[in-house]
Each structure stands twice: as C-alpha cells, then as structure tokens.
Amino acid sequence: MPSIFTKIANGDIPSYKIAESEKYYAFLDINPVAKGHTLVIPKMEVDDIFELDDETLMGLHLFSKGVAHAIKKTIPCLRIGTTVIGLEVPHAHIHLIPINGVHDIDFKKPKLDYTKEEFQDIAAKIAANYNS
Ligand code: 5GP
C-alpha cells in the first residue's frame, strides 16, 4: 500500500506542487503552521529519514536547499526553519517553514486555514521563484 506522499508524488492525490525532480518532490503542507510551509520528500518510499541511503539523504537536503531559497524569496521572513518530525506520515520528509521567531515553528498552535485559491497562489509564487 503506497504512502499518502507516494500517491501525492505520483499525482494520484492532488497537491500544491512547488518543485519536482526525478528523485524528489516538494509541495505545500495542507495544515501549515506558517504561510509557505512546505514538505520535501524523496520519491523513494522510506519511513524514517535516517534510514535513507546516504546519497538520497544528501540529495534530499540539496533539493530542499533550492526550495528553501525560493520560499525565502517569496515569503517575507527571517529564516527558513527546517524540522523533521515524521510521527504522522510514515514517508521521510523535511518541513521547510518560513519563520520570524521560534514561535512560528510551533506545531501545537492552531494551523493556518487557506482557501484552495490561496494555496494555489502561494504555491505558484514559490514555484515561479524556484524556476527563475
Ligand atoms: P509529520 O509526519 O512530520 O509528523 O507530519 C506530517 C505533515 O504532513 C503534517 O504537517 C501534515 O499537515 C502534513 N500532511 C498530512 N497529510 C497530508 C496530505 O495529504 N497533503 C499534504 N499536503 N500534507 C499532508
């Protein structure tokens, strides 16, 4: 049974896509803690990020670097915070979160609510900066 993130990367479940390569896929988190909160996954389905082979783990971080630059260009913030949690979805992923302070990366606070159009707009703007 493929993970929900494999289904997203395969296009079987819709997502607000930011960027894609042969091995990696970036898309907006559906329950963002901050505007522009993005998830980056390897297409290879492995649960624990630290069980990825070295090359895939390194590639995931390098791919995330490009995505983080695009988010930073798009969403006013001091930093792109990164975190790995992995308690909800058993498919390795990195959270990229625009932050102005440590409170912006608090997963216990209420999630932000965007309309489909707002999600599309955020994703399109980050994707345009990724491709520029
Ligand atoms: P974690 O596994 O890192 O604890 O949390 C998984 C993250 O994936 C959460 O932030 C959650 O909002 C996000 N998420 C879960 N299901 C989906 C989904 O179907 N689509 C998207 N875009 N994000 C999801």
Residue 83 belongs to domain with CATH number: 3.30.428.10
How far is ligand 1, taken at its centre, from the CA of residue 63, in Å?
Answer: 19
Q: Which residues are catalytic?
A: 93
The pLDDT value given to residue 63: 98
Find the domain containing 14 and state its range.
4-128
Q: What's the pLDDT band for 44 if we cut at 50, 70, 90?
A: very high
What is the pTM assigned to this prediction? 0.98
* Lookup result for tokens 């980050």: 126
Confidence of residue 130 (pLDDT cuts 50, 70, 90): very high
With the most atoms of ligand 1 within 8 angstroms of its CB, the residue from 13, 89, 113 to mutate is: 89
CB atoms within 10 A of CB 125: 17
- Number of structural domains found in the chain: 1
pLDDT band at residue 92, thresholds of 50, 70 and 90?
Answer: very high
